[in-house]
Amino acid sequence: MITQEVVVQKILAHLNGEMREIELVHWAAAAFVSLSESDADVPGEGTVLDVLGIYP
């Protein structure tokens, strides 16, 4: 499940040099697909989509 905490961890990993930009972009794209294809209610889904730069 993609949560706000997971998004924060990924962004921090990138900012700390632990994740390359392209890896972050690929992860964000996969996270969007996962969120958009899921019927589950994800807490904070709107915020996660905002952070990923996707506006429903």
Structure tokens at 5: 């905490």
pLDDT of 35 reads: 73
**Cα gap 11→24, rounded to integer Å:** 7
pTM of the predicted structure, to 2 decimals: 0.69
Predicted pLDDT of residue 14: 97
Q: What is the per-residue burial (b if ≥16 Cβ within 10 Å, else e) of 18-30?
A: ebeeeeeeebbee
Q: Which domain holds residue 27?
A: 4-52
> How confident is the model at residue 56, as a pLDDT?
57
pLDDT single digits (tens) 12-56: 999 999 999 999 999 988 887 877 776 666 666 677 677 767 665
Domain count for the chain: 1
